[in-house]
């Protein structure tokens, strides 16, 4: 050990941990400083024992490798467009919703608004007010989209007559589904239920869905993995920016739309609707991501996150090693940019299944490749770059199929690991739309949000409980 007096015989070199002001003061005096970005584990001392048990689990390394390997092997393709009743076995009076399980008494404004609108759409109520009374007395059944291999943006409400994209992995035969995208503003998924919302949904079921089905069946499957890979090279991050993906899809299908035999006015209206809706591809990126992540499920010993979802009240995650169990905590409220005169007081807590894109390494994890996204959700270009770099610290792998040109074509950070989130204190970054707090309002803005840390500490606790006993 160096004698204390020897410390004064040469130039000092200082390592600081967490003492920002001290480091800045020394640097201002030309003293070399090596700051260490240390964060205590999430959950404090209570989580330390759980971390020890999970990290010591002899199954962990192989289990994580197996789960992430399965995810990276999936090749998602759009194979069909069908009504939810036929695709998912959804019966009259049954609805799906975004996020973990929810009861009416705990449902947020936008979730209530979307369910009320869906009741009117299905002819189960004449007015939203009548629908609200029926729902309040338990007159409808609803469950998470995830429980039927589906995902839904924002409120994510799916009713039997809505048409669904069907995504498949040829090698495994696994399938996932998502509804068709309505656009932005006053739409059902943001909790709006006015006459124009219902009319648009009825047109989507009567015209858009059947024409897309005819065009796709004539065209054949669309390789969504290839489209997503190209999107990342064209400035999209596949969550809040999907412009190039939407146009690439339209380019693929428009000859078959025109040749479908449908009235020319209907084909033109469908092409105009898709081309004017930059978010249309979001509802394909989401089920493609879910298809990949579902392949990583049911691997005992793995702490890989296979779902992150929000219902407007709770944020929930699921992991590869804990089956279908949800780990939930109160959802945070996004911070960002608002439309018109709306402000923070109008925003509902985080909502939607669209965080499946981040779970797969897209969206907020890929913001570096989509610098224009910050003009929609807030932040700046430097923040977008730093965010994508930081996400590698909490993931198990990189996806060589999804590359970020600005990071020298590095693969996207893939496979969120519960132990890494808890150990580093770094929470997954999500960029998202914001729904109005009150039912019927619709979209009020877009912004940035992270999951509550309680989801990850709860998942870690369950993984620790399932780990073999420590030896010695």
What structural domains and CATH numbers belong to the chain? 4-31 (no CATH), 75-287 (3.90.1710.10), 297-466 (3.90.1700.10)
Strand, helix or coil for residue 314: strand
Q: Which residues contact 226 (CB under 8 A, 6 or more apart)?
A: none
**Do you know the residue count of the chain?**
472
Q: Six-digit token pair at 279? A: 């978010």
Please, are residues 113 and 439 in contact by the beta-carbon 8 Å criterion? Answer: yes
Strand, helix or coil for residue 75: coil
Please, are residues 150 and 88 in contact by the beta-carbon 8 Å criterion? Answer: yes
Distance CA 428, CA 368 (A): 15
- What single-letter DSSP state applies at residue 64? H
Distance CA 376, CA 291 (A): 27
- What single-letter DSSP state applies at residue 227? H
Please, are residues 463 and 321 in contact by the beta-carbon 8 Å criterion? Answer: yes
Distance CA 60, CA 54 (A): 8
Distance CA 215, CA 341 (A): 41
Smallest CA-to-CA distance from 71 within 225, 393, 294, 367 is with: 294
- Divide the 472 residues of the chain into consecutive groups of 10 and give the mean pLDDT of each group: 54 62 66 67 86 96 98 98 97 97 97 98 97 97 97 98 98 97 93 97 98 98 98 97 97 96 96 96 98 98 98 98 98 96 96 98 97 89 96 98 97 98 97 95 95 98 94 65
Q: Residue 316: is it exposed, middle or buried by C-beta count within 10 angstroms (0-12/13-18/19+)?
A: buried
Phi/psi region, residue 352 (left: phi>0; alpha: psi -120 to 50; beta: rest), is left
Roughly what angle, to the nearest 10 degrees, separates helices 209-219 and 243-258?
A: 80
Distance CA 274, CA 113 (A): 25
């Amino acid at each position: 050990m160096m004698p204390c007096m020897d410390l004064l015989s040469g130039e000092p070199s200082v390592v600081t941990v967490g003492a920002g002001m001290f480091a800045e003061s020394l640097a201002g005096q030309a003293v070399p400083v090596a700051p260490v970005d240390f964060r205590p584990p999430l959950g404090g001392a209570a989580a330390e024992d759980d971390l020890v048990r999970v990290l010591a689990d002899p199954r962990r390394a192989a289990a994580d490798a197996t789960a992430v390997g399965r995810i990276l092997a999936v090749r998602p393709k759009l194979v069909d467009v069908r009504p939810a009743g036929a695709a998912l076995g959804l019966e009259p009076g049954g609805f799906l919703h975004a996020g973990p399980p929810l009861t009416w008494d705990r449902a947020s404004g936008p979730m209530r608004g979307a369910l009320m609108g869906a009741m009117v759409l299905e002819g189960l109520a004449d007015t939203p007010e009548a629908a609200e009374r029926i729902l309040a007395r338990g007159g409808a059944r609803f469950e998470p989209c995830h429980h039927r291999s589906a995902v839904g943006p924002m409120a994510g409400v799916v009713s039997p007559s809505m048409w669904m994209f069907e995504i498949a992995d040829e090698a495994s035969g696994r399938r996932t589904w998502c509804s068709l995208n309505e656009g932005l503003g006053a739409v059902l998924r943001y909790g709006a239920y006015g006459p124009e919302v219902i009319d648009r949904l009825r047109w989507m079921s009567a015209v858009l869905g059947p024409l897309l089905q005819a065009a796709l069946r004539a065209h054949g499957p669309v390789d969504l993995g290839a489209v997503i890979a190209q999107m990342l090279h064209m400035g999209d991050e596949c969550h809040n920016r999907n412009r190039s993906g939407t146009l690439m899809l339209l380019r693929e299908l428009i000859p078959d739309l025109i040749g479908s035999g449908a009235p020319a006015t209907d084909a033109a209206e469908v092409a105009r609707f898709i081309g004017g809706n930059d978010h249309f591809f979001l509802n394909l990126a989401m089920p493609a991501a879910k298809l990949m992540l579902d392949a990583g499920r049911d691997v005992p010993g793995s702490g890989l996150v296979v779902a992150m979802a929000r219902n407007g009240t709770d944020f929930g995650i699921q992991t590869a090693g804990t089956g279908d169990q949800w780990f939930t905590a109160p959802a945070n409220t996004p911070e960002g940019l608002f439309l018109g005169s709306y402000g923070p007081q109008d925003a509902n807590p985080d909502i939607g299944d669209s965080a499946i894109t981040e779970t797969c390494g897209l969206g907020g994890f890929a913001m570096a490749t989509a610098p224009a996204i910050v003009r929609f959700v807030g932040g700046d270009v430097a923040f977008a770059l730093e965010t994508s770099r930081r996400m590698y610290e909490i993931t198990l792998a990189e996806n060589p199929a999804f590359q970020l040109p600005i990071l020298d074509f590095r693969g996207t950070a893939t496979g969120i690991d519960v132990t890494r989130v808890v150990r580093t204190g770094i929470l997954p970054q999500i960029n998202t739309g914001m729904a109005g707090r009150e039912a019927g309002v619709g979209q009020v803005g877009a912004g940035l949000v992270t999951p509550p840390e309680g989801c990850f500490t709860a998942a870690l606790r369950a993984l620790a409980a399932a780990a073999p006993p420590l030896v010695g």
